[in-house]
Amino acid sequence: MSEIYWEMGQVVFLILIAPLVTGMVRKAKALLQGRQGPRLLQPYYDLYKYMHKDSVVSVEASWIFTAAPFVVFGATLTAAALVPAFVRSSLFSFTGDLVLLVYLFALARFFMAMAGVDTGSSFGAQGASRDLFVSSLAEPVLFVTLLVTALPAGTTNLSGIVAHLTGKEWAITPAYFMMLVAFVILVVTETGRIPVDNPDTHLELTMIHEGPVLEYSGKPLALLLWSAWIKQVLLFALLADLSFPWGFAASAGGWSPFGSLLGFFLKLVVVSLIMAGVEMSNAKMRLFKVPRLLTAALVLSLFALTTEFLL
């Protein structure tokens, strides 16, 4: 029973820490730019503010617009129950959960795109079309990079993959290096960060991920923002699992889960600093150059998969 409690606590921790991770990235980016920046806990204040505001719904909107925030939030919570963070086992751990994780992200993206088009807003439709355009290349990268780690582990179970990475000696192989570079590009893309997108702007001509959210307000907007932050922390967790596969508690009775929790938090801090550094060292690229970047990531992931299969 103690393992179940820790697995549930792992999900709750990922959900609650998501706004703080966003605050850390914003704060680190501001400090690197020589600014004071927003407060570290500002995302929590934003959620509280939106939760206490009324929602304005367009007369052109259908049930899709109303249901999309709940579907997106539910799919993201289910994905959080699949990703191991500081305990090797996850709450919904089973063979094939790697495939389910990709499909849950795709389900949330599909409903967001439908909601962006549903209101008849030109900017919402523009952002939705751009988001689907980018995802057509980003989702294969996610699947193939995770498959690179699943192949030597002999399972598509994320807990089994983490256990395999933790148990083997750490070494930088060509397949590992190519997979890691491809996954970093994927994380930058999926979290809507520079050079692919700018999460701090609402400029209609350049935004991608922010477009479908423009028509939302109040509690639905809070759910969508929280979902995006949870997805970000899940991708950060996967990146930390692949880059630093140490410090997992094998069970509630093994290595202290509290120490593993602290180690995982430090991993999130490191990944947040890396993401802030990536944003600071690059400029926003043109939209039509994004496919080149994602194609390079896809080619790297395919090369990594081929290398892992042959060697």
pLDDT of residue 212: 80
List the one residue out of 289, 271, 124, 118 whose CA is nearest residue 197.
Answer: 289
Q: Which of 80-94, 106-120, 276-290 has the highest mean pLDDT?
A: 106-120
Closest by CA position to 308, among listed 154, 142, 116: 154
β-pair partners for 87: 249
260 versus 73: the higher-pLDDT residue is 73
CA torsion, ordered 167, 236, 267, 181, to nearest 10 deg? 70
pLDDT at 225: 92
| Tokens encoding 74 | 């539910």
The average pLDDT across 285-307 equals 86
- Inter-axis angle of helices 97-118 and 158-167, to 10 degrees? 130
> Per-residue confidence at 171, pLDDT binned at 50, 70, 90?
low
Of the spans 2-11, 197-206, 224-233, which averages the highest pLDDT? 224-233
Residues 112 and 175: beta-carbon distance below 8 Å: no
pLDDT band at 307 (very low <50, low <70, confident <90, very high): confident
**Mean pLDDT value of segment 129-155:** 85
In this predicted structure, what is the pLDDT of residue 1?
A: 55
SS3 at position 168: coil
Classified as helix, coil or strand, 87 is strand
d(Cα 63, Cα 165) in Å, to the nearest integer? 44
**Mean pLDDT computed over 121-131:** 80
Residue 165: pLDDT band (50, 70, 90) is confident
Among 236, 231, 229, smallest CA distance to 274 is for: 236
Q: What is the mean pLDDT of residues 142-159?
A: 85
The two tokens of residue 60 are: 């052109």
**Residue % of the chain over a pLDDT of 90:** 23
DSSP secondary structure, 214-258, as one string: TT--HHHHHHHHHHHHHHHHHHHHHHHHHH-----BSSTTSS-HH
Q: How confident is the model at residue 246 (pLDDT cuts 50, 70, 90)?
A: confident
Instruction: Give the position of tokens 């790297």.
Output: 300
- Residue 270 CB coordination number (10 Å): 15
Distance CA 257, CA 10 (A): 10
Mean pLDDT of 162-185: 78
Q: State residue 18's pLDDT score.
A: 94
Structure tokens at 12: 């709750």
CA dihedral 15, 155, 178, 139 (to 10 degrees): -60
- Whole-angstrom Cα distance, residue 229 to residue 227? 5
pLDDT of the residue at 168: 64
Q: What φ, ψ does residue 87 adopt, rounded to 5°?
A: -120, 135
C-alpha Rg value of the chain to the nearest Å: 19
pLDDT tens-place string over residues 51-107: 999 888 888 888 899 999 999 999 999 999 988 888 777 777 766 678 889 999 999
The residue ranges of every structural domain in the chain are 2-310
DSSP tally for the chain: helices H, then strands E? 10, 0
Judge if the upstream peptide bond of residue 69 is cis by omega within 30 degrees of 0. Answer: no
Is the model's pLDDT at 255 over the cut of 60?
no
pLDDT tens, residue by residue, 79-94: 999 888 887 777 777 6
pTM above 0.95, yes or no: no
Owner of token pair 């999460």: 199
pLDDT of residue 235 exceeding 70, the answer is: yes
Which is higher by pLDDT, 95 or 241? 241
Residue 129: pLDDT band with limits 50, 70, 90: confident
